[in-house]
Structure 1
């Protein structure tokens, strides 16, 4: 298992990564084992809101994010309210993955969950055994530690640059690199 990646790590796509699924993304890793890794793209909004996808939440305007290209017929959530949503798994420092969905629906209907407490994802990002380690060796990803500020940032477009700023030093300069340096 690659020690550079632990649950709670944020993978920051290299500015020159051309894979359209991950270009300029930040991926929050929820699970990393020898068999593979699993996480969610944090900074790419999906074109529907949760009320469009969950029958019991009709009219709910909470955003849904594109978690990744795997199982696009599934909805996942991370949150920071374990006091209200039982059964979640703590990934890192007060960030929980999943929990009792029926309770979550009730809490949303009763307006007891605020938008900055939760993120919904359609699909997820997954890597098979050794795949993520290979991508790290190829320098497709940089890594930084996940925290509530980055994971639940209100403006998802700021997550990728803020993750690079969190790394400090020369990494901050990467924010300004063009997507295609040949066009420069």
Structure 2
């Protein structure tokens, strides 16, 4: 079994599911049971400050982080928050994804997001994308996704609108070059 963990799933142009159209999904986990990822480029009409206010968490209104958009991380458990962030230990429910990337699901990170205790870079997402055993592999065979190695620069340093095209450009492909046909040599 090929392991897609720490890779991006880039939606092919033919993807018509609005939840994944032109999406870039970071794969957090992939094993014999299935896969879990977070869509990193579908912003909601909700800012971090709006979410913190709704949760009665005090925040610094002057912090740029307060004005960042929350992403729709995927269609599963869209009422649950996931913070994809540069490595910073100390939260009660975090998972190291790489040496310099983590995902945290505990509320304690939300308290820090607009303070100097926050991770250097982060994306806050509601929900995640999930695939049952064999489902992602079948979608890959059906040419629904392009798989490329993940890049923290794409995750954190680009606008949401730039991520889809930048992800394919990373491997020397422009999105107009992608076709709906799967090829087998």
TM-score (norm 2): 0.81
Q: Which has the higher helix share?
A: 1
Following superposition, the deviation at residue 112 of structure 1 comes to: 3.6
Are the aligned partners of 1:7 and 1:92 in contact in 2 as well (CA < 8 Å)?
Answer: no
Structure 2: give runs of 5+ residues left out of the alignment.
179-185
Following superposition, the deviation at residue 57 of structure 1 comes to: 4.4
Q: Which of residues 139, 159, 165 in structure 2 aligns to 1:161?
A: 165
Instruction: Report what 1:40 is aligned to.
Output: 38
Structure 1: give runs of 5+ residues left out of the alignment.
179-184
Instruction: Report what 2:118 is aligned to.
Output: 113
Distance 1:152 1:86, change over 3 A: farther
CA–CA separation in structure 2 for the residues paired with 1:73 and 1:92: 26
Instruction: Report what 1:18 is aligned to.
Output: 16
CA–CA separation in structure 2 for the residues paired with 1:143 and 1:25: 12
Are the aligned partners of 2:5 and 2:27 in contact in 1 as well (CA < 8 Å)?
Answer: yes
Instruction: Report what 1:149 is aligned to.
Output: 153
Question: Could you say what secondary structure the match of 1:139 adopts?
Answer: coil
TM-score (norm 1): 0.82
**CA-to-aligned-CA distance 1:81-134 (integer Å, 9 cap, x gap):** 3156575222134111116532x23423434437x6111001110111111011
Question: Could you say what secondary structure the match of 1:176 adopts?
Answer: helix
RMSD value, Cα: 2.5
Are the aligned partners of 2:76 and 2:128 in contact in 1 as well (CA < 8 Å)?
Answer: yes
| 1:90 partnered with 2:96 | yes
CA–CA separation in structure 2 for the residues paired with 1:7 and 1:156: 21
Distance 1:87 1:50, change over 3 A: same
Instruction: Report what 1:182 is aligned to.
Output: none
Are the aligned partners of 2:12 and 2:22 in contact in 1 as well (CA < 8 Å)?
Answer: yes
Instruction: Report what 2:183 is aligned to.
Output: none
Instruction: Report what 1:134 is aligned to.
Output: 138
CA–CA separation in structure 1 for the residues paired with 2:80 and 2:93: 18
CA–CA separation in structure 1 for the residues paired with 2:156 and 2:92: 19
Are the aligned partners of 1:92 and 1:147 in contact in 2 as well (CA < 8 Å)?
Answer: no
Are the aligned partners of 2:82 and 2:105 in contact in 1 as well (CA < 8 Å)?
Answer: no
CA–CA separation in structure 2 for the residues paired with 1:17 and 1:65: 19
Distance 1:109 1:13, change over 3 A: closer
